[in-house]
Amino acid sequence: MTKSRIRTVLEMIKFEHSVFALPFALVGALLAARAGGGLPGWRPILWIIVAMVGARSAAMTMNRIADIEFDGRNPRTANRALPAGTLSVGFAWAFTILASAVLVLAAWRLNPLALKLSPVALAILFLYSYTKRFTAWSHFVLGFCLGISPAAAWIAIRGSLDWRMLILCAAVTLWVGGFDVLYACQDVDFDRAEGLHSIPKKFGIPGALQIARVMHLAMVALLVWLATAFHLAWPAWVGIAVVALLLGYEHSLVKPNDLSKMNAAFFAVNGYISLLFLLFWGAAVVVMHP
């Protein structure tokens, strides 16, 4: 595979966006290991990363396959690899199967429960690609696709699930779903024309922005609950404050009559949120008592 083709594949799956989910999965792994009295070894962390990359690559490629006709008619997405013909649909299917196999392999290397749940994870990831066809709440499904990552990481480390991980799952679901609502404001006219469903289409852009704000406020509240449930030290609380400030800044960039700064809000700010969350919460986990 040539370098240009590799770049095209990485662009198709938005590989750089892995930064959104991976830090939350790593926090889940750190919490799981610390609850057992230590810190995770490099091998399970490696396989968790492999599983995350495989899952996300499969999900993104499946989404591109499912939406190829819509992407081709949308001026914002018409230059994507599949509608533009840079990559073939056959190649995309083969890549989806390969990425799915990578996830299953990583789950097998982790523990039996992770392996048993890997087909369930793939089913959830693939379902999202079709939800805009029948529900305005597809943003929550996308959020849940990333939201299950901390629970999956906990299972990868412990071979079981602690109920407290569901708090972090809900927080990530609301975070991702909220910024997806913001991002979907760009396509509200296209969604109306094509008969697709979204919160901006259903409630209008001003209403969608308000819903996204409520979702992100709820995310911060859930992080407070989680830090309390695990009795985390002060770095976790600093991390929550940083996340709250960055979310406020993100929402200040997007206005009902001005979406020109959407890319800055979506890519840069959310990338900082996930990385700084890992930094502060990772520090809190290291110093917590098991």
CA distance 251 to 273: 13
Question: Within a domain: residue 4?
Answer: no
The CATH number linked to 95 is 1.10.357.140
Number of residues that make up the chain: 290
Q: Which residue, 284, 280, 93, 250, is CA-closest to 178?
A: 250
For the entire predicted model, the pTM comes to 0.93
Amino acid at 50: V
Residue 101 tokens read as 């196999």
Task: With respect to residue 171, please indicate whether it lies within any of the assigned structural domains.
Answer: yes
Predicted local distance difference test score (pLDDT) of residue 161: 93
Decide if 7 is inside a domain: no
Total structural domains within the chain: 1
Classify the phi-psi angles of 247: left when phi > 0, otherwise alpha if psi is within -120 to 50, otherwise beta. alpha
More confident residue, 78 or 152: 152
The C-alpha atoms of residue 87 and residue 83 are separated, in whole angstroms, by 8
Q: Is 10 part of a structural domain of the chain?
A: no
Q: For residue range 142-168, list pLDDT tens digits in order.
A: 999 999 999 999 999 999 999 999 999
Where does the pLDDT of residue 289 fall: very low under 50, low under 70, confident under 90, or very high at 90 and above? low
109 pLDDT band, cuts 50/70/90, is very high
Strand partners, 255: 258
Establish if 119 belongs to a structural domain: yes
Domain holding 172, by residue range, is 17-287
Rounded to whole angstroms, the Cα distance separating 28 from 157 reads 9
pLDDT in tens, 1-45: 677 777 777 677 776 666 677 899 999 999 999 887 777 889 999
